[in-house]
Structure 1
Amino acid sequence: GNEADLTITDFLEALGEDDNTKVIGVYMEGVKNGEHFLEVARRLSRIKPLVVLKAGTTETGAKAVSSHTGSLAGSDTAFSAACKKTGVLRVDTMKNFFDLLSAFQDQPVPRGRNVLVITNGGGPGVLAVDACEKLGLNLPLLEQELRENLRREFPPHASLGNPLDVLGDADESRYRLALEAALKSDNVDAIIVILTPQAMTPSDEVAKIVVEMSKNTNKPILASFMGFDNDSTPVRILRAGGIPNYDFPESAALVFKRMYDYYLVLNRPEESLAILTNIDENEVVRIKEVAEKEGRITLSLEESFKIASAYGIPVPKAFLAKNAEEAGQIADYIGYPVVVKVDSPDILHKTDVGGVILNINSREEAVRAYELVVNRAKTLMPQARVFGAIVQKMVPSGREVIVGAIRDPQFGPLMMFGLGGIYVNFLKDVSYRLAPLTPHDAMEMISETKAYTLLKGVRGEPPADLRSLTDIMTRFSQLIYRFKDIVEMEINPLLVYEEGKGCMAVDIKITLAKRKTEEKEI
């Protein structure tokens, strides 16, 4: 309904306290109070699985939600980040929603990611292990002793790998032997049992064996009896015995992956926020006050550098030049080589307008560079406000990443990490979390992107300084979390050097909230 009185979060609290509720499934279209939802969801997910299907993920869907209930669908990205932070399991279809609920209702949470597939059909077995591997699950072999025991009982051409193929002529005894071995194995955390209809395979008896074997184990068992409808005898036997059955094995693989995700939630380390040193909050306040007095919401690059530096984020020497002569003087002061880049709050991509000149090695070059970048900006973007140009010390090249943050109206500051540089909008290799970040959060964000492969080192490159990178990400997240009037920040690129050599933020944008004008009394 419209949640005119009680909200979804209120119902979640009640269900969390209900001993008869083993798993909670929620369809939702929006969140009334993001902070309350985060607090309740974080607490609940440590007690029982919380599965959420949220609508309004597209622009059209969000409009329909608004007209339907009067709720704001909100940022879908922020909602997903909220789910990750609190341990909520988000699904995107009704099928996945009910598939996962049925598994949590009757099966134990796995204690690892190792899956054994047992099948009487080669093709479905291969598809199942393909699906598992794509989902990041492990596919172990049974221990050698267990395989040797099975070899004595199975036909010579039976495959005892993973998938473990009991063959198309298997009777219920082969399934029993395979399941017994899987349950004894220390290598196996969960089992997917596939059965395709065969003349020699008594599906009803196999279903009874699967149910029987599940009664005395803490390993989840999921079934995919293919080609049987929900009212068929084997499926009814499975359902009555608490064994979820899926039409296709890929669905079972996905369900197990999400069950393993919940295992990770339950075993997530309790990590405190990093205690920051070398910060100067008074400097941040001073810079913001100057901008506010001048009626600006966008900070200059020089101001952004100063705020980053005040929070312990490494930046190059850089100063704002308001004319060409100043540019030459600053270049002499900080030492060559230098970079000259136009400073404008209205030009997001300086290179697109020729607003960046590198490798300047003399005062004369710095003067000419200032004139070039400022004139290009004014010619190509005549409406843009141009503060002047930043003269910045050249720094060594490194691996380029982006660290950003934006304030979501429901859930607060949302952090972003990904591959940086000029191609970030095209590659879109990014991950998200709600601020503030712990070092563990930051490392998770990094590992979810392709940038992680580059940062670990490729083609003989040494690994990058991930300790420094996670430190900068946590500092950046605490900066926007601490100062509520900062609505958007971005470091792009952040140069990450090899292990032990730190990072350098070479371009930063910071935007403040618009000040609310006081209404005049009439």
Structure 2
Amino acid sequence: MQSYSSLAALFEPASIAIIGATSDPANPGNIAVSNLLASGYKGKIFPVNGEGEEVLGFKSFSSVSDIPRFTDLAIICLSPAEVVRTVEMLAELPVHAVIVPTEGFGETGREGYMLEQRLAKISKNSGMAILGPNCLGLMNSSIFMNASLATDYITHGNIAFFSQSGALCNTALDWANSEGVGFSKFISLGNKAVLSEATMLRYLANDPDTKVIVGYCETLKDGQDFLRVAYDTTSKKPLILLRAGGTAAGARAASAHSGALTGSTDAYNAAFNQAGVLQATDIEDMFNLAHAFSCQPLPEGPNVAIVTNSGGPGILAADMCEKGTLNISRPSSATLEKMKDFLGPHAALYNPIDMIGDANAETYAKTIRAVIEDDVFDSVLVILTPAANILGEVEKVAADLLVAAETSTKPIVACFMGDPSVEKARKLLRDGGIPCYDFPESAVRSLDAMARCHRWQNKDWPIEVCFRRDIAKAKSIVANSRRVGMMELVELDAQHLASAYELPVPETVLARTSNQAAKAAKRIGYPVVLKVASPQISRKDDLGLVVTDLHTPQDLRRAFQQITARAARRRKDAYITGCLVQAMGPKDSHEVEISFRRDAQFGALIRFSLGGIHADMLGDVSSRLAPLALNDAQEMIREVTAYPVLRGARAGAAVNLGALEDILLMVSQMASDIPEIQEAEFSPIIAGPDGAVVANMRMTIG
């Protein structure tokens, strides 16, 4: 982890050495010096080159060691091999921070990867902050510093932006300059040999100049570290991320681009969800959200007022609210009476508030003021379409809206549709700090994200739950399995491991003959379940090797013969030890599935769904990363579309949700305690009104 002094040297250096700068205007070092001058950087600039030639009026040094008392930031514009040798020398001086724009490292193959690893090792040993390689650099508007190779410079603002992609940095600069949006910090991460998204968040979360943090990422090096830092960050300020590589094709492209492996999309979604990260759907959405958060307060609730002069866009906005988390609330009685005084008899007053086509600037101003003053509403969306009656007053509507916003504590966003008739009004609003969108869906999405951010920052602290378990026993079972070469635990072996975590399992007996099965069933009590016992067969249902609801010894013996014979035919490679006799699950029950699989970047990803087709065919699954808090377990159960089934929909039996929450938390503890378990599946879990039991389980040992 980088020290505060090294990050301070990176973001607020008193002096900067540009190593490899020459008098050639196309030279990267020359561009870096030029950018520092153009941005108004007030610190000292030291060009360094072996020839000693002057660079843009600055005397150059033949070596960094010749610069008196230099310890802050160096920008190295040399070949990859020369970069590594130079960083080794700078670490001995010592210099606290380095920016490496040079390409040809981990993104190019094995040789470049090894050079990149050497940079990481130097940083680890010295504490030096290294940004890059293969990056543009960074900008800090508070000290007028453009320490990058990007010729466009940022205007001062409160958005901090970081990106793994240099091209996206240039895109963000173009957007910001065209929209008049400013940045506090602007960072190109490149290959992230040392400084990653998590490092940036640690710094930016406490940066007084930053109100909202926005980022583009393809891969995260240490998912668990990112999860912890992001959680702390989002409790203080909004964090908006656009993640690429969510499809198979995108993952391949991301890996080729950065030279790093990508994790599963489910794991990323779970991580962002648990950490309170707002996910942008695309580049446009990322910029829209950034602008809204940068200039508007957060709403204190979900109730939005929609003011429009056209029914169609108002309906589209209402549809979008319904799809998200916003409420289309009815105005208060006082507001309704007030609006009846100045709106026509055909206006719709009950939200969306449709003033219809004869609305003018005066009715807009009065309606907007009325909904702002109404305590029912937490936010306001103003939609304008260029109807004939309003065309000459569009800019006046915008000006009046800015005046109303001056005294409002509620977020206000606008959607002025049409072009070019509303272009000047849009610019007026954006320059005045009110986001103005082309279409209502984008406006609603921004308000929805702001409402979700407010809920996140005001939520209760998560409740950590720890169940009693025997970790030593569990680890011993895993070690013994590995020692004998058994990489999959099924049935009784898996039950022994589960018993260390006190997972509820039905009484189960191994019977080697049908007579033994009948005796076991008599002791357990009918009805029972019969399933084949074999260390080589884990998915018994798929092969027809499970029979449920057996009520008599005759049925049991017949099923025993059928199951063992069928197993011998269908799995000739398997060793059949007999059958397992198992107590039936709770009455009036439903089948549920819980599983986990280790993600390379985030660790154990736990999944929950109803059994049968819900997970495999319908994809009705909720996911979280271990370890789970109580609220995580509660949310997982309630997120699946089939949740009403568990609550007794259509006169069915309601499931004991607390029992399912307990099993999720026990599984989470197991996943966190024993990293040797690569995969585990607990299916089916038989859940009913009186509790839940894990009827079958399998675990893969790595």
- Match in the other structure for 2:590: 399
Matches within 5 A, 1:367-378: 367-378=557-568
Determine whether 1:508 maps to 2:697. Answer: yes
CA contact (8 A) 2:646 2:655 kept: yes
The separation in 2 between residues aligned to 1:167 and 1:43, in whole angstroms, is: 46
Contact kept in structure 2, 1:401 and 1:451, CA below 8 Å: no
Which residue does the alignment assign to 2:317? 128
Residue equivalent to 1:461: 652
Mapped to 1, the partners of 2:567 and 2:653 lie a distance apart of 39
Verify: 1:110 aligned to 2:294, yes or no: no
Q: Does the CA-based 8 Å contact 1:228-1:235 persist in structure 2?
A: no
SS of the residue corresponding to residue 214 of structure 2 reads strand
User: Who is 1:517 aligned against?
Assistant: none
Conserved 8 A contact 1:317-1:392 = yes
What does residue 432 of structure 1 align with? 623
SS in 1 for 2:441: helix
C-alpha deviation, 1:377, in angstroms = 2.7
The 1:306–1:144 alpha-carbon spacing in structure 2 relative to 1, beyond 3 Å, is: same
Q: 2:580 aligns with which of 390, 409, 415?
A: 390
Distance 2:615 2:537 in 1: 16
The one of the two structures with greater contact order (alpha-carbon pairs below 8 A, sep at least 6) is 1
Amino acid in structure 1 at the alignment position of 2:697: I
| Aligned twin of 1:361 | 551
Contact 2:280 2:286 in 1 (8 A): yes
Answering whether residue 676 of structure 2 is matched by residue 485 of structure 1, we say yes
Aligned to 2:492: 302
Q: Aligned-pair distance for 1:62?
A: 0.9
Deviations 1:416-466 (A, max 9, x none): 111113653112211111111111111111121122211222123353211
**1:516 maps to which residue?**
none
Instruction: Report the CA distance shift for 1:124/1:4 in structure 2 as closer, same or farther (over 3 A).
Output: same
1:386-434 Cα distance to aligned partner (Å, 9 max, x none): 5543211123340222111111121111111111136531122111111
Match status 1:83 vs 2:272: yes
Tell me the secondary structure at the aligned position of residue 148 of structure 1: helix
Between 454-463 and 428-437, the greater mean CA deviation after superposition: 454-463
From the CA coordinates, give the structure whose radius of gyration is larger. 2
Cα deviation per residue 1:93-125 (whole Å; 9 max; x = unaligned)? 112111111111111111111111100001111
1:68 corresponds to 2:257:
yes
> Structure 1 stretch 447-456 or stretch 388-397: which is displaced more?
388-397
1:187 to 376, 390, 393: 376
Partners of 1:127 and 1:505 in 2: how far apart? 46
Instruction: Specify whether residues 391 and 422 from structure 1 end up closer, same or farther in structure 2 by C-alpha distance, changes over 3 A only.
Output: farther
Secondary structure, counterpart of 1:382 in structure 2: coil
CA RMSD of superposed structures (Å): 2.0
Structure 2 CA distance, aligned partners of 1:45 and 1:176? 36
Q: Distance in 1 between matches of 2:213 and 2:423?
A: 28
CA contact (8 A) 1:328 1:366 kept: yes
1:159 match: secondary structure: coil
1:1-37 Cα shifts (integer Å, max 9, x gaps): 2112322322222222321121111111101111221
Query: What is the SS of the residue equivalent to 1:160?
Result: coil
| Cα distance change, pair 386–220 in 1 and its aligned pair in 2 (3 A) | farther
Deviation digits for residues 357-412 of structure 1 (CA, Å, limit 9, x no counterpart): 12323445434423322332332243456554321112334022211111112111
Segment of structure 1 superposing worse, 288-297 or 152-161: 288-297
1:215 aligns with 2:420: no
Give the direction of change, closer, same or farther, for the CA distance of 1:382–1:94 in structure 2 (3 Å limit). Answer: farther
The residue that corresponds to 2:385 in the other structure is: 196
Query: CA contact under 8 A between 1:74 and 1:410: conserved in structure 2?
Result: yes
Query: 2: distance between equivalents of 1:89 and 1:347?
Result: 43
- Cα distance between partner residues in 1 of 2:508 and 2:421: 69
- 1:170 matched to which residue of 2? 359
Q: Which amino acid aligns with 2:670?
A: L
Equivalents in 2 of 1:486, 1:323: separation in Å? 32
**1:347, CA displacement in angstroms?**
4.5
CA distance in 1, matches of 2:295, 2:575: 62
Q: Quote the offset at 1:483 in angstroms.
A: 1.5
- Contact 1:301–1:509 (8 Å) recurs in 2: yes
Per-residue Cα deviation, 1:51-89 (whole angstroms, up to 9, x for no partner): 111111111111111111111111111111111111111
Aligned partners of 1:222 and 1:245 also within 8 Å: yes
Q: Distance in 1 between matches of 2:536 and 2:482?
A: 18
Could you tell me whether the CA contact under 8 Å between 1:16 and 1:48 is conserved in 2? yes
Shift of 1:203: 0.9
TM-fit CA distance, 1:345: 5.7
8 A Cα contact 1:52 1:90, kept in partner: yes
Measured after TM superposition, the shift of residue 257 of structure 1 is 1.5
**Residue among 242, 245, 253 paired with 1:53:** 242
Of the candidates 498, 503, 510, which is equivalent to residue 320 of structure 1?
A: 510
Corresponding residue number in structure 1 for 2:41: none
Q: Distance in 1 between matches of 2:229 and 2:479?
A: 36
Q: Name which of 439, 460, 467 aligns with 1:248.
A: 439
Determine if contact 1:29/1:65 at 8 Å carries over to the other structure.
yes
Q: Are 1:334 and 2:334 an aligned pair? A: no
CA distance in 1, matches of 2:535, 2:340: 72
Partner of 1:273: 464
Measured after TM superposition, the shift of residue 319 of structure 1 is 2.4
Structure 1: gaps (5+ residues): 514-522
State the TM-score, normalizing by the size of structure 2: 0.70
What percent identity do the matched residue pairs reach? 38
Match of 1:33 in 2: 222
CA distance in 1, matches of 2:336, 2:613: 54
Aligned equivalents of 1:228, 1:346: Cα separation in 2: 67
In structure 1, how many angstroms separate the alpha carbons of the residues matched to 2:564 and 2:219? 46
Preserved contact between residue 653 and residue 688 of structure 2 (Cα < 8 Å): no
Residue identity matched to 1:45:
T
In structure 2, the residue matched to 1:226 is 417
Task: Find the aligned partners of 1:493 and 1:229 in 2 and give their Cα distance.
Answer: 60
| SS of alignment partner, residue 655 of structure 2 | coil
Corresponding residue pairs, total: 510
Query: Residues 298 and 510 of structure 1 are in contact (CA less than 8 Å); yes or no, is this contact kept in structure 2?
Result: yes
> CA deviation digits over 1:272-292, x for unaligned, max 9?
311314x33344234323322
For the 8 Å contact 1:300–1:387, the answer to whether it is kept is no
Distance in 2 (alpha carbons) for counterparts of 1:462 and 1:418: 18
CA contact (8 A) 1:146 1:181 kept: yes
TM-score, length-normalised on structure 1? 0.93
Contact 1:203 1:234 in 2 (8 A): yes
Tell me which amino acid in the other structure corresponds to 1:366.
L
CA contact (8 A) 1:29 1:55 kept: yes
Q: Secondary structure at the match of 1:146?
A: helix
Aligned pair in 2 of structure 1 residues 170, 34: CA closer, same or farther (>3 Å)?
A: same
The structure-2 alpha-carbon separation of the partners of 1:146 and 1:320, relative to structure 1 and needing over 3 Å to count, comes to same
